[in-house]
Amino acid sequence: MRRILAATLAASVGLLIGAGVIPASASAHREPGYTPPPIDWGKCASAGLNARGAECGFLVVPLDYAKPKGTKIKLAVSRIKHTSSAAQYQGVMLTNPGGPGGSGLTLSVLGEYVPDNAGSYFDWIGFDPRGVGSSVPALTCDVNYAGYNRPFYVPVTKQLEKTWLAKAKGYSKACDKAGGELLDHVKTTDTVADMESLRKALGQKQINYYGFSYGTYLGQVYATLHPDKVRKFVWDGVVNPDRVWYDANLDQDIQFDKNMDVYFAWVAKYDSIYHLGKTAKVVKQKYYSTLYSLIKKPAAGKIGPDEWNDIFVSAGYYVFGWEQTTEAFAAWVNDKDPSLLLEQYPEPGAAGSDNGYAMYLAVQCSDVKWPTNWSKWQRDNWRIHAKYPFMAWNNAWYNAPCITWGAKPGTPVEIKGKKAPEILLIAETNDAATPYSGALRVRQLFPKSVLVEGVGGTTHSGSLNGVACTDDIIADYLATGELPDRVRGNRSDAQCDPVPQPVPSAGSASTFSKKAEAGLPADVRAEIGVR
C-alpha cells in the first residue's frame, strides 16, 4: 500500500550494471512457458550483504511473458544460504517488503531475526521487482515531484484543485514517456510470473515466502495461481483483495486519522519532555494550527503544510520513530528551529529518488481500472475529509496520477485460497495502511490460514521486532509447520501484544535513532525497506 518515501540504502546496495534491456538472443527459450537461465552469482555491492556472506546476481526474464522469446529484462537478486544441516534444510524463502515499489534486494537478511535460529533452515532470497531499485530497467519519472513547499493538499479553492490535477497529470505523462513499454508489464501478475521464474532458476519445486504489506497481496495472487507451489507463507500487514486499489486508499484515510489520535495522546503523556500539551486535544490543535500557519510562512522557506503533513504520516503507520517526529514537532513549535523538520523531510531531487513512488503508481494504476471521473474523487475525498482530515487529500493527490495513467489497466485475479496449505497471517488491530478487516477477509478466503492479532496496536507490518508472542509463533511455523489452532468465527486465532509504544526520557529522545530496538533494529528496517 502507500509507502513512506523515506531515505533508504537503495543507492548503496545497488548492483553496478549497464542500463537498458537485454537483447532477445541473450537468453535461451528452453521449454513451453519460460525457463530462465541460471543466475550468475557473485559479490554484492552492499557491504551489509557481503558481511553476511550473501551472493548477488540477476534473473533474466521476458518483459512480456506472452512473448517469451522477445525482449528481456533483469531482476536484481540476493541470496543468503542456510546454515542448518542438510537434513534440516527447508528450501528457499522469497521475500517482499511491500510498496508496491519497495526494494527487496537486501531483505535476504531477514532470516537472522527469526527467533530460535529458525531462519537458518532456509536460503533467504531478496529481490528487486521489475522496474525497482537495481533491476534493469528501473523506472524514474520526475525526481523533483515531491519537492519543498508544494501547493496546499486540501483544495479549498478551484485554483488549488486545478494546480494539483495538472501536477498529477504531468507526473503520469512523465512516467509514460520514461517507462515506455515497461509500464504495460508491471502488474502484480507480472511479478508473480517473475516469482515463478525465480523458483525455476533456483531449482525448487515449491517456495517459502515472507511478504509485508503489498507483499501479502503478491503472495495471495501467487497462492491463487500456483497453490501447488506454496510451502510456508507468512503475510504481515494483510491487504484486502476486495478493495484494490482505489477503495483501499479510502479505507486507509479513516484509520490513519484514528491512529493519529493515539499518537497525540502519547505526545501528551510525555508533556514533561516535549512540552506540546497535556492532553491529546491540545496536542492535536497544535498540530493543525501549525499546519495552517505554514501555508503563509513555511519553516525555513521549505517545510509548508504538505511537507509538515508528510512528516507525521509515519506516526500513523507505526510506533517506530515517534520520538524523532515529536522532537522535530517540539523544536519547531517551541523554539522555531526547523533543522529537525528538514532532517525528517530531506532535500528531494537525488537521481532515481522517485523510483519507489513511480513504481508504486505503475503497479497500482495498471493492476485495475481506477475511476477517471473527477467528480467521484471529489465526493469521496471531501466526504472523508469532513470527519477524517489528517490524510484524505494527501492520499488523494498521491494516487491522482492514476486518473490519466498511460498503461492499459488489467483485471485483478479473483483470490481463491481453498487449495492453498496453511498460511500464517499477522496484523495489528489498528493497522492503518492495511486495515484489520483485510486480514479477516483473507482469513476467510484461505480456510487453512491462521491469523495472529497484535491486539490494540497501530503498527503496520511489525513482525520480528521483539514481541515474543508473535515472533515465537513465526519461528515455530518456519521450523516445524506448527501453528495455533484455527478457531470458529470471523476473528483472530491467536492474540499477542502489539509492538510497544516507545518510552522516551528527557536525556534520550535526541539519541534514540542511534539505538537498536529489540528484535529487528530500526536501521536494519530502513536498510531492507520494511515500513
**Known catalytic membership, residue 185:** no
- Give me the residue label for grid cell 491529546: 280
Sorted by sequence, the CB contacts under 8 Å of residue 414 that are 6+ apart come out as 224
**Known catalytic membership, residue 510:** no
CB 138 within 8 A of CB 497: no
Catalytic residue among 134, 213, 461, 492: 213
Catalytic residue among 460, 463, 471, 492: 460
Among 456, 446, 428, 443, which Cα is nearest to 489's?
Answer: 443
Query: CA dist 58 to 17, 40, 199, Å?
Result: 10, 7, 13
3-state secondary structure 152-194: CCCCCCHHHHHHHHHHHHHHHHHHHHHHHHHHHHCCHHHHHHH
Residues 19, 100: Cα–Cα separation, whole Å: 22
Residues 452, 174: Cα–Cα separation, whole Å: 42
Catalytic residue among 128, 194, 257, 431: 431
**Known catalytic membership, residue 460:** yes
DSSP states along 258-321:
HHHHHHHHHHHHTHHHH-S-SSHHHHHHHHHHHHHHHHHS-BTTTB-HHHHHHHHHHHHH-STT
- The three cell numbers of residue 104 are 527487496
Phi, psi of 211 (to 5 degrees): -125, 140
CB 426 within 8 A of CB 454: yes
First to last CA, the chain: 10
CB 352 within 8 A of CB 296: no
Active site residues: 213, 431, 460
